[in-house]
Structure 1
């Protein structure tokens, strides 16, 4: 499961679809509707919030918005709840950088034209739910940092 901190605009078709599916799974986990993935580290940053389900719904809405911009139709009725007010989650520059390298490696392998398009991006924008702060890779991250 990967709940990307980078803006969904950077994801290729496969990545955007996988992000939607995996975040729907995360929503089910947070609702207690599944027994799998209950201790997945990607969920820690949502569980720390006062309204984890609202925040995951806001995340899903951001992914659905990007899908809509591309002409895809993700079923927004699958988003069970949104937060009552604006929610932001801090993401450290180290975490964003690690995810960017991870994503670029995936894009180079399966969508090289998109990798070339995004290669000029210095620091990627985060998903609209996140605000960037200085700092290292998150303690919950299990991907290995690359040099």
Structure 2
């Protein structure tokens, strides 16, 4: 599961579509509707919110907005709440790690998309702050 902190406009098609699918799974997990993925580290930051489900819904709407701009049809009726005012901090270290990870993926699967990856920006619900990679991040990405 990769719930990108990067602005959805910067995600290539594969990352945007996978993020949508994984975000919908995260929504189910946060609503207590699954047996698996309940301890997935990517969900830790959403659980810090007063309403984690509202947080993931806000995140999903950000992806749907980017999909709409590209002419994709993400089914917003699957998101259980409208976008809200939820905000989360995002460290510049985490953004840099995800940026490098996205660029590596794009080089493999969609090299022309690299031209759009001039500078990282966070998803609209994140406030960028100085700091290291998040404690919940996958260890294998830290080794790259």
Q: TM-score, normalised by structure 1?
A: 0.93
Residue equivalent to 1:96: 95
In structure 1, list runs of 5 or more residues that go unmatched.
none
CA–CA distance in structure 1, aligned partners of residues 124 and 53 of structure 2: 16
Distance 2:57 2:13 in 1: 21
Q: Pairwise mapping of residues 41-120 of structure 1 onto structure 2 (< 5 A)?
A: 41-82=41-82, 85-118=84-117, 120=118
Query: Does the 8 A contact of 1:3 with 1:22 survive in 2?
Result: yes
Q: Once the two structures are superposed, what CA deviation does each residue of 1:17-48 show, in whole Å capped at 9, x if it has no partner?
A: 00000000000000111111010000000011
1:121-132 alignment, distance < 5 Å: 121=119, 124-132=120-128
Give the root-mean-square deviation of aligned CA atoms.
1.3
Number of equivalent positions? 143
Name 1:145's counterpart in structure 2.
Answer: 142
Q: Which segments of structure 1 move beyond 6 Å, counting only runs of 4 or more?
A: none
Q: Distance in 2 between matches of 1:135 and 1:88?
A: 17
The separation in 2 between residues aligned to 1:50 and 1:82, in whole angstroms, is 16
The 1-side partners of 2:54 and 2:89 are apart by 16
| Gaps in structure 2 of 5+ consecutive residues | none
Q: 1:87 Cα shift?
A: 1.4
- 1-side partners of 2:82 and 2:71: how far apart? 23
> Once the 2 structures are TM-superposed, how far is the Cα of residue 146 of structure 1 from its aligned partner?
5.3
Contact 1:44–1:140 (Cα < 8 Å) also in 2? yes
